[in-house]
Amino acid sequence: MPNRSSDSLFQLVKSLKKSEKRNFKLYVKRNSSVEDLKTTQLFDAMDGMAVYDEALLLKKNKRISKQQLSNIKAGLYRQILSSLRLMRNDNNIDMQLHEQLDFARILYNKGLYLQSLKTLDRIKEMAYDNNQVSFLLQVLFFEKKIEALHITRSMQDRADRLAQEVVVSSNRLKQIGLLSNLSLSLYSWYIKNGHARNKAEEETLRVFFEQNLPKELDSNTGFYEKLYLYQSYCWYAFIRQDFLLYYRYAQKWVDLFDKEKFMIEIETAHYIKGLHNLLGAHFDLQNYNKFLESLKAFELFSESETVLQNDNNLIQTFIYLNISRINKHFIEGTFTEGLELVPGIMEKLGEYQLYIDRHRVLVFYYKIASLYFGSGDYDTAIDYLNKIINWKVDLRTDLQCYSRLLHLIAHYELGNYQLLEYLIKSVYRFMSKMENLGVVEEEIFVFLRRSFHLTPKQLKPEFELLLEKLKRLEKNPSATRAFAYLDIISWLESKVKGVPVQDVIREKFLAKQG
pLDDT at 149: 83
pLDDT at 35 over 60: no
Runs of H (alpha helix) within 309-357: 311-332, 335-338, 342-351
Is there a single domain that holds both residue 248 and residue 311?
yes
Is there a single domain that holds both residue 144 and residue 63?
no
Is residue 238 within 8 Å of 257, Cβ to Cβ?
Answer: no
Let me know if residue 373 belongs to a domain: no
Is residue 190 within 8 Å of 239, Cβ to Cβ?
Answer: yes
Let me know if residue 121 belongs to a domain: yes
Is there a single domain that holds both residue 267 and residue 290?
yes
Runs of H (alpha helix) within 18-65: 18-30, 34-47, 54-60
Task: Please tell me the distance from the alpha carbon of residue 277 to that of residue 80, in angstroms, as a whole number.
Answer: 36
**What domain range includes position 67?**
8-86
Let me know if residue 425 belongs to a domain: no
Let me know if residue 131 belongs to a domain: yes
pLDDT for 360-381, tens place per residue? 999 999 999 999 999 999 999 9
For residue 503, what pLDDT band results from cuts at 50, 70 and 90? very high
pLDDT at 284: 94
pLDDT at 395: 66
Is there a single domain that holds both residue 80 and residue 25?
yes
Is there a single domain that holds both residue 22 and residue 97?
no
Let me know if residue 222 belongs to a domain: no
Q: Name the residue among 82, 95, 86, 89 with its Cα closest to residue 132.
A: 95
Residue 200's identity, in one-letter code, is A
Let me know if residue 428 belongs to a domain: no
Segment 201-223 mean pLDDT: 88
Is there a single domain that holds both residue 80 and residue 150?
no
Is there a single domain that holds both residue 250 and residue 318?
yes
Last residue of a domain, one of 308, 332, 356: 332
pLDDT at 207 over 80: yes
C-alpha dihedral sign at 442, 448, 449, 453: positive
Is residue 156 within 8 Å of 117, Cβ to Cβ?
Answer: no
Q: Residue 217's CB: how many other CB atoms inside 10 A?
A: 12
pLDDT at 1: 30
Let me know if residue 376 belongs to a domain: no
- Cβ-based neighbours of 259, under 8 Å, separated by 6 or more: none
Q: Name the residue among 147, 158, 123, 150 with its Cα closest to residue 137.
A: 123
Task: Please tell me the distance from the alpha carbon of residue 59 to that of residue 29, in angstroms, as a whole number.
Answer: 26
Question: Of residues 318 and 478, which shows the higher confidence score?
Answer: 318
Is residue 326 within 8 Å of 371, Cβ to Cβ?
Answer: yes
8-state DSSP, 498:
T
Q: Per mean pLDDT, which of 2-16, 29-43, 207-221 is the most reliable? A: 207-221
Question: Of residues 347 and 433, which shows the higher confidence score?
Answer: 347
8-state DSSP, 353:
T
Q: Name the residue among 176, 120, 112 with its Cα closest to residue 143.
A: 120
Is there a single domain that holds both residue 34 and residue 98?
no
Segment 415-419 mean pLDDT: 89
- Cβ-based neighbours of 31, under 8 Å, separated by 6 or more: none
Last residue of a domain, one of 332, 354, 387: 332
- Maximum C-alpha span of the chain: 97
Is residue 114 within 8 Å of 152, Cβ to Cβ?
Answer: yes
Is there a single domain that holds both residue 56 and residue 113?
no
- Cβ-based neighbours of 235, under 8 Å, separated by 6 or more: 183, 186, 187, 189, 190
Segment 237-254 mean pLDDT: 96
pLDDT at 119: 94
Last residue of a domain, one of 279, 304, 332: 332
Is there a single domain that holds both residue 321 and residue 274?
yes
pLDDT at 362: 93
8-state DSSP, 394:
S
Task: Please tell me the distance from the alpha carbon of residue 281 to that of residue 279, in angstroms, as a whole number.
Answer: 5
Is there a single domain that holds both residue 26 and residue 72?
yes
Q: How far is CA 243 from the centre of its chain?
A: 19
For residue 3, what pLDDT band results from cuts at 50, 70 and 90? very low
Is there a single domain that holds both residue 80 and residue 100?
no
Question: Which of 62-66, 395-399, 472-476 has the weakest average pLDDT?
Answer: 395-399
Let me know if residue 424 belongs to a domain: no
Domain count of the fold of the chain: 3
8-state DSSP, 3:
-
Segment 52-56 mean pLDDT: 89
| Cut 0.85: pTM above it | yes
Is residue 179 within 8 Å of 225, Cβ to Cβ?
Answer: yes
Segment 174-183 mean pLDDT: 94
Segment 287-308 mean pLDDT: 97
